[in-house]
Amino acid sequence: MTGHEELLQIATDIAAEAGELILRRRREGVEIAASKSSVEDVVTRADRESEQFIRDRLIAARPDDGFLGEETGTEGGATGTSGLTWVVDPIDGTVNYLYDIPAYAVSIGVVEGEPDPATWTALAGAVVNPVLGEHYTASRGGGARLNGRALEVNRGVAPNVALLGTGFSYTASRRMEQAAVLGALLGTFRDVRRIGSAALDLCSVASGRLDAYYESGLKPWDQVAGALIAAEAGATVAGFDGAPATTQLIMAADAPLLAVLERLLIEQGFATPIG
């Protein structure tokens, strides 16, 4: 087993166990613990419990690695002492979780370098939707899989028959701006989906459930594993002008379709992304 495969096994095992935990807590009933960026952006007690569980498991398995989690930030320094950092979203799609909409996931990725999408090198990642029993996995150079089945992005799809995914900010004023941009894209694409989990959106590009995806304002934990899974399935994952995806903008699609999406976003004044 290579180093990347070992990291992937750790990510996959822990994400699966955390997925079972949050599913069990959801069946017991959800309790809101706090709000984050706005009243609409909630944290449940299960978010915090899941992150603590994941962090404890990772520290036991990889004590020299760093940790960056949505709820608790860093543990042992941003990069630890090994140069690797685990970037974790304990429940991606918390509002879906709150409403019992079956589109939420545990996302765990491990990166080399600073935990910043603009500069990191993602090595392995797992995204687990426990409701559907779907385990998306990828390692750098090792391809992407859904429950062991190899994934490949949809290729050669014309924009007018392409299904586009995106997401919105929890801040109302930003949502209005983002919706205006999206409205201008609707005449070009087949339709749009707003699923409510960036990790699952990126995995949907990998599995062919979406043809393209873009979003602004994502945090590192929202995109780390999903972006690697999409890229390993053959998607181009990038910001503008071929730059790496960042917290400001991420796009994912087959390269020709991504070029169309990028052009349209720039035409709508998205070159300085809204997020």
How many structural domains compose the chain?
A: 2
Instruction: Please give the residue that has the higher pLDDT: either 266 or 43.
Output: 266
Contacts of residue 109, defined as CB under 8 A and 6 or more positions apart, other chains included, come to: 11, 86, 87, 88, 122, 124, 125, 126, 224, 225, 228
CA distances from 100 to 95, 164, 183, 220 (A): 8, 24, 28, 25
pLDDT at 213 over 50: yes
Tell me, yes or no, whether 171 and 112 share the same domain.
no
Mean pLDDT of 123-151: 98
Is residue 88 in some structural domain? yes
Q: Which of 121, 150, 179 is the last residue of a domain?
A: 150
Binding-site residues, in ranges, read: 70, 89, 91-92, 222
Question: What confidence score (pLDDT) does residue 271 get?
Answer: 57
pLDDT at 269 over 90: no
Tell me, yes or no, whether 241 and 143 share the same domain.
no
- Strand partners for 145: 137, 150
Report the run of H or E that residue 88 belongs to, with start and end. Answer: strand 84-92
Tell me, yes or no, whether 180 and 69 share the same domain.
no
Tell me, yes or no, whether 220 and 125 share the same domain.
no
Tell me, yes or no, whether 182 and 64 share the same domain.
no
Q: Which of 150, 178, 202 is the last residue of a domain?
A: 150
Question: What confidence score (pLDDT) does residue 38 get?
Answer: 45
Tell me, yes or no, whether 21 and 75 share the same domain.
yes
Q: Are 198 and 148 in contact (CB under 8 A)?
A: no
Going by pLDDT thresholds of 50, 70 and 90, the confidence category of residue 206 is: very high
Tell me, yes or no, whether 177 and 126 share the same domain.
no
CB burial of residue 58 (10 Å; 0-12, 13-18, 19+) = buried
Tell me, yes or no, whether 175 and 105 share the same domain.
no
Is residue 275 in some structural domain? no
Tell me, yes or no, whether 134 and 190 share the same domain.
no
Tell me, yes or no, whether 43 and 123 share the same domain.
yes
Dihedral-angle region of residue 131 (phi above 0 means left; psi in -120 to 50 means alpha; beta otherwise): alpha
Question: What confidence score (pLDDT) does residue 170 get?
Answer: 80
Q: Which of 150, 168, 189 is the last residue of a domain?
A: 150
Show the domain range for 51: 3-150
Mean pLDDT of 21-27: 93
Q: Are 245 and 121 in contact (CB under 8 A)?
A: no
Tell me, yes or no, whether 124 and 260 share the same domain.
no
Is residue 137 in some structural domain? yes
Convert the pLDDT of each residue in 52-101 to its tens digit: 999 999 999 999 999 999 887 765 445 589 999 999 999 999 999 999 99
With tokens 């053959």, the residue in question is 234
Going by pLDDT thresholds of 50, 70 and 90, the confidence category of residue 274 is: very low
Question: What confidence score (pLDDT) does residue 186 get?
Answer: 92
Binding-site residues for Mg(2+), in ranges, read: 70, 89, 91-92, 222
Is residue 209 in some structural domain? yes
Question: What confidence score (pLDDT) does residue 44 get?
Answer: 80
CATH code, domain with 39: 3.30.540.10
Is residue 204 in some structural domain? yes
Structure-block tokens of residue 222: 């929202």
Question: What confidence score (pLDDT) does residue 273 get?
Answer: 45
Going by pLDDT thresholds of 50, 70 and 90, the confidence category of residue 200 is: very high
Mean pLDDT value across the chain: 91
pLDDT at 24 over 80: yes
User: Per-residue b/e over 91-129, b at no fewer than 16 CB within 10 Å?
Assistant: bbbbbbbbeeeebbbbbbbbbbebbbbeebebbbbbbbb
Instruction: Give the Cα separation of 123 and 215 in Å (integer).
Output: 22
Question: What confidence score (pLDDT) does residue 41 get?
Answer: 43
Going by pLDDT thresholds of 50, 70 and 90, the confidence category of residue 253 is: very high
Tell me, yes or no, whether 143 and 26 share the same domain.
yes
Instruction: Give the Cα separation of 82 and 65 in Å (integer).
Output: 5
CATH code, domain with 258: 3.40.190.80
Is residue 273 in some structural domain? no
Mean pLDDT of 186-215: 97
CB burial of residue 219 (10 Å; 0-12, 13-18, 19+) = middle
Is residue 274 in some structural domain? no
- Strand partners for 111: 85, 122
Q: Are 164 and 193 in contact (CB under 8 A)?
A: yes
Instruction: Give the Cα separation of 145 and 165 in Å (integer).
Output: 20
Instruction: Please give the residue that has the higher pLDDT: either 203 or 71.
Output: 203
